[in-house]
Amino acid sequence: MKKGTRQEIPRKAVYRLSLYLRCLHRLKINSIRTVSSEALAKAAGVKSTQLRKDLTYFGQFGTRGLGYDVEQLSTMISDLLGTNSLQPVILVGVGNLGSALLSYRGFEQEGFEIVAAFDAYPDRAKTRTVKQPIHGMDKMPEFIKEHSVRMAILTVPIPAAQEVTNTLVENGISGILNFAPIVLHVPEDVTVNNVNLAIELENLSYFIQH
């Protein structure tokens, strides 16, 4: 996770910036031009001291008493997150969950386009009705390089996950959204975000009992 002169913003702060951005989008839709730190913090479900601290990553910002300019703050956060232009993403593993994510429209609204999918058995996977092309795994390295893809969604079964990850990383993928319930080993300059839906339910299960 080290590259160039990157300013170190902790992962949790980056998550909160995403939350603020969503709240700012809703404000824009409602034609609201400025927002106080208290109101924005409340909408995002954080404390206003936390919000103000997070926004110091942008240096001196906001006018005392007037609040933040909604448009300006949105642009600054989008620039930082790199979501101002549509980013290409590939998906690997077109099973139940994979094909579901291929037809999920939520990503595109947020600036991510799943441009292609790969599967060990592309013919079987093609029986699923998705709009993206589904290729065999052998086509993946070339595709990644040709389309300068940097991000991948991983929805392969556990036994295949590490090997596929190695191939992704070797070919230039540096961000992986991993749905396989396994710890992936990657070089330091590659980021893996894990989404494990069963673990989320298990966590709830604990809290509803205690």
Contacts with a copy of itself, residue ranges (CB under 8 A): 1, 3-4, 6-7, 9, 11, 14-15, 17-19, 21-22, 43-45, 80-83, 87, 89, 96-97, 99-101, 103-107, 109-112, 150-151, 153, 174-177, 181, 183, 191, 193, 195-210
Supply φ then ψ for residue 89, to 5 degrees: -135, 140
Nearer to a copy of itself, 60 or 148 (CB): 148
Nearer to a copy of itself, 140 or 186 (CB): 186
Q: How far is the CB of 98 from a copy of itself (least distance, A)?
A: 9
| Contacts of 177 by beta carbon, 8 Å cutoff, 6+ apart | 151, 152, 153, 154, 193, 195
Nearer to a copy of itself, 99 or 165 (CB): 99
Q: How far is the CB of 106 from a copy of itself (least distance, A)?
A: 5
State the number of CA atoms in the 13 A half-sphere of 77 facing the CB.
24
CA angle 34/108/115 to nearest 5° reads: 150
Indicate if the alpha-carbon torsion angle 83, 86, 91, 97 is positive or negative. Answer: positive
Distance in angstroms between the alpha carbons of the first and the last residue of the chain? 37
Q: How far is the CB of 63 from a copy of itself (least distance, A)?
A: 26
Q: How far is the CB of 116 from a copy of itself (least distance, A)?
A: 16
- Where helices occur in the chain by DSSP H, the ranges are 11-29, 37-44, 48-55, 70-81, 96-103, 106-109, 122-125, 140-146, 158-170, 197-209
Q: How far is the CB of 64 from a copy of itself (least distance, A)?
A: 26
Nearer to a copy of itself, 141 or 175 (CB): 175
Nearer to a copy of itself, 120 or 190 (CB): 190
